[in-house]
Structure 1
Amino acid sequence: MHDGTDSIPAPGEEVVVRKRRKGIYILPNLFTLAALFGGFYAVVMAMNGRFDMAAVGVFCAMVLDSLDGRVARMTNTQSAFGEQMDSLSDMVSFGAAPALIAYEWALKGLGRWGWIAAFVYCACAALRLARFNVNTTVVDKRYFQGLPSPAAAALVTGFIWLMTEADIKGSSVAWPMFVCALYAGLTMVTNVPFYSFKDIQMKKSVPFAVIVLIALGIAVINIHPPIVLFSLFVIYGVSGYVVYGWRKAKGVQTSVISTSTDEPDERGLHK
């Protein structure tokens, strides 16, 4: 009969210590899975010819992707598993999905040029995510090194959404789609700095006018979401080159790498 005390092992008896099984935080990973579903939903809609809904799926994935990291930090539930899960979700939602949607909508008619553009975009998204994971501890948190993959996906799918709403077929704008896909893809792997908005503190109090401006912004987006959202991301997509050119003209350091690393296999990424 157990008396509530731990048994004392006999001399020479091996003590077996059971390790507590590691769990997975539910809340942030739910947002990541929801973002992954948005990318999967976008591909399915594109296969069914619903390219407007495919674009909406990518934009929904973008919103959810922006929330999972913030939720993890606010609830102190960051984990290595969550980081890897987020990267894989981003590759599907912002790498493979936009490339497949663009190819199915317009690039297919360009033959080999079409699938080359789609592949270049997809490959650049993978390279950008891999570089982000490697450089996460050395990059200035205020800026992204290259265009972030969600913004690149917004450029590609936003253009598709805008054209679809205007009843313009993809075959008639295949070459503009080609240019858009290449621009978004190659800009992801440049060293051009793009503002990250990570220095905005959600827990701090703000003036009442800020809330009013946010309400006005939501109202403006609802006037015509395809035009407004695509315009916003076009402005963001060129803002990095404006910042880069301004820094060059002023003689300010253009690199967003804040510290160096001694790892020889990472030095080439910091140029």
Structure 2
Amino acid sequence: MPPNAVTLTSLAIALVAMWKLPSAVWPTWSVIGCIVLDVMDGRIARMSNRPNALGAQLDSLVDVVAFGALPALLVLHHAASTAWMLHVPTAILFIACAALRLARFNAKTTQAPQRFFTGLPTPVAAGLVASVILVLQRSDQAGHASGPLSGGVICLIAGLAAWLMVTKLPFPSFKTNGGGAASTTPKRRTLIAIVALMFIGLFFHPSLTLLLTFAVYAASGWVIRRKMNQFMDRLAYAKAAASGTGRIGCPAATEHLDRP
């Protein structure tokens, strides 16, 4: 199947979901389906060696609908009972940040796959919002997530996801292995173990498993940024020690480096 056909299928699912949203529960799950299709179209394009500028632009346009407009409508529908109509600015903020995130990605994208994304990817942000709603729907006997407390939680998560999309935090892309076979084998084993645990969790409690998966990925940005900062600090200390000057304004820097 051509990658663009998969992308347009995601667009069709998002459109039907927005049409059926007021009278059905399943549209929330359609966000997860669009995420699966988004992963598939990129994988098919890379495997067939047919990535092109048209496909990249089409993918971003569809993402604005599937991962921007649809989650924003979910917020408007399921968080309508919040005080001060908080769901309205939250939904506007979410779709605006999704559009900015995708525009920034298109402006900076290169032909070579990158190890890290800048800002939370829109599919993950949309999945975070959808999975929270699914968990709340499961806890509600009527199958709705529209209570005042539920609406506040949805707005909080949607607002956090919107902010993460436009930050400069690095998030793993999983598109490059970044090393030789010796370095990638442990990573692949870890990834396989994580995927296996995910499938087990999806069998017992799919909505909660999805929420935990998206939440862990969203938190990884802070972890990666901290590790990068620590690496840059060690590199600066090493350069200072090699030059024998130490850090400016820190006479004890070289003494610290000489310690075992």
Indicate the TM-score class for this superposition, using the shorter chain for normalisation.
Answer: 0.7 to 0.9
Q: 1:113: Cα distance to partner?
A: 2.4
Residue matched to 2:241: none
Change (3 A) 1:32 1:135: same
Residue matched to 1:232: 213
- Supply the AA of the counterpart residue of 1:27: P
1:164-203 paired onto structure 2 within 5 Å: 164-167=137-140, 169-172=145-148, 173-200=150-177
Residue matched to 1:29: 4
8 A Cα contact 2:198 2:209, kept in partner: no
Q: 1: distance between equivalents of 2:12 and 2:113? A: 31
Q: 1:218: Cα distance to partner?
A: 1.9
8 A Cα contact 1:42 1:57, kept in partner: yes
* Secondary structure of residue in 1 paired with 2:114: coil
Change (3 A) 1:212 1:193: closer
One of 128, 140, 155 as aligned partner of 2:128 = 155
Q: Deviations over 1:112-168 (max 9, x none)?
A: 422111100000000000000001129970111000000000111110011001116
Task: Note the residue ranges of structure 1 that are not aligned, 5 or more in a row.
Answer: 1-25, 254-271
* Secondary structure of residue in 2 paired with 1:251: helix
Q: Deviations over 1:18-45 (max 9, x none)?
A: xxxxxxxx61111101111232233233
Change (3 A) 1:32 1:138: closer
- TM-score, reference length from structure 1: 0.74
Q: 1:219: Cα distance to partner?
A: 2.7
* Secondary structure of residue in 2 paired with 1:198: coil
Q: 1:108: Cα distance to partner?
A: 5.5
Q: Deviations over 1:208-244 (max 9, x none)?
A: 9789744554233211100101111111111101221
Q: 1: distance between equivalents of 2:166 and 2:125? A: 11
- Number of positions where the alignment pairs a residue of Structure 1 with one of Structure 2: 224
8 A Cα contact 2:133 2:145, kept in partner: no
Residue matched to 2:16: 41
Q: Deviations over 1:164-217 (max 9, x none)?
A: 01116422322221111110001000000001111159xx99899789744554
8 A Cα contact 2:81 2:146, kept in partner: no
Q: 1:251: Cα distance to partner?
A: 3.1
- Supply the AA of the counterpart residue of 1:43: M
Q: Percent identity?
A: 35
Change (3 A) 1:179 1:209: closer
8 A Cα contact 1:139 1:145, kept in partner: no
Change (3 A) 1:209 1:127: closer
- Corresponding position: 1:121 with 2:98: no
Q: Deviations over 1:29-82 (max 9, x none)?
A: 11101111232233233221x23x122100000000011111112112222221
Task: Note the residue ranges of structure 2 that are not aligned, 5 or more in a row.
Answer: 235-260
Q: For the pair shown, which has the larger CA radius of gyration, 1 or 2?
A: 1
Q: 2: distance between equivalents of 1:169 and 1:154? A: 16
- Supply the AA of the counterpart residue of 2:61: L
8 A Cα contact 1:94 1:149, kept in partner: yes
